[in-house]
Amino acid sequence: MTANIDFSGVFPAMVTPFDADERIDFETLQADARRLEAAGVDGLVPVGSTGESATLTHDEHVQVVEAVVEAVEDVPVIAGTGSNNTREALELSERSAAAGADGLLLISPYYNRPEQRGLIDHYRTVADAVDLPQIVYNVPGRTGRTIEPDTAVELASHPNVAGYKAAEGDLGAIGEITERTAGMEFSVLSGDDALTLPVVSVGGTGTISVVANVEPERTCAMVGAALEGDYDRARELHHELGPLMRALFEESNPIPVKAAMALRGHCANRLRSPLTPLAEEYREGLAAILESLETESAALAEADR
């Protein structure tokens, strides 16, 4: 088995920036990877849902992974390589491993809605063939099928299945998985920013996060406080981030986070069709939230001088 990754802390689900011709803007992508690494994140997750993987070709997918691997020095790169086609997921996983990825994130097969035995076969096929730590990603709102706790626990016994990304919104099920995998080399990460603090409280180890693209320092401080047991501080930071967490899901991810990052000057507000830029009715509110967070950060920095 390959060396383990410490799946504790904050792993931003990166956006994929595009230029005016909808080509990948690799210069901006690498600058963003370096920005996030400098902010103290614990790893990076390119080419997931937030990275618009559904509109990238396989070659582009691998090129993004290569670019992020090249850009960072000390943090692991966890490549999104899932598909509803097991052969395609295997191909993307193998190519991403060859491109230098340190681990893999695999969304469960979508649209064709396999049974639980099919999910087990799907994940085991990739885990048997690719010797990298792999995270099983449960997001039934996108896939149409949930990964049941029994399935997650069974997959956790595979030496290359190292974690579970929880985006089902069911804290009871998430808590059951953390309970039943306690003592195993298996991590449970929140896949829903609004539930990161509750997930850590029931035994989760961190988050694969959208909000961390915009507020990496605050997100790292929140998760770090929770992991250290300082829930008063973690709750305070969770509440500070709450308005932004909600704003980033006013429309389908990554529409709002691309708009937020454009407002912060991190990338252009360009998405590939069929995604469209954030509706005008949400832009003013998003800008006000970002301004409030910046003002608060500036005041704290001044107070520390």
Secondary structure of the chain as H, E, C letters: CCCCCCCCEEEEECCCCECCCCCECHHHHHHHHHHHHHCCCCCEECCCCCCCHHHCCHHHHHHHHHHHHHHCCCCCEEEECCCCCHHHHHHHHHHHHHCCCCEEEEECCCCCCCCHHHHHHHHHHHHHHCCCCEEEEECHHHHCCCCCHHHHHHHHCCCCEEEEEECCCCHHHHHHHHHHCCCCCCEEEECCHHHHHHHHHCCCCEEEECHHHCCHHHHHHHHHHHHCCCHHHHHHHHHHHHHHHHHCCCCCCCHHHHHHHHHCCCCCCCCCCCCCCCCHHHHHHHHHHHHHHHHHHHHHHHHHC
> 123, 137, 164, 258: which one is catalytic?
137
Spot the catalytic one: 111, 123, 164, 165: 165
Is 110 annotated as catalytic? no
CA 23 to the chain's CA centroid:
22
Identify whether 165 is a catalytic site residue: yes
CA neighbor of 179 nearest in space, from 153, 207, 158: 153
Q: Under a CB-based contact definition with an 8 Å cutoff, are residues 71 and 84 in contact?
A: no
Among 132, 209, 202, 216, smallest CA distance to 165 is for 209
Whether the upstream peptide bond of residue 46 has omega within 30° of 0, thus cis, is no
Active site residues: 137, 165
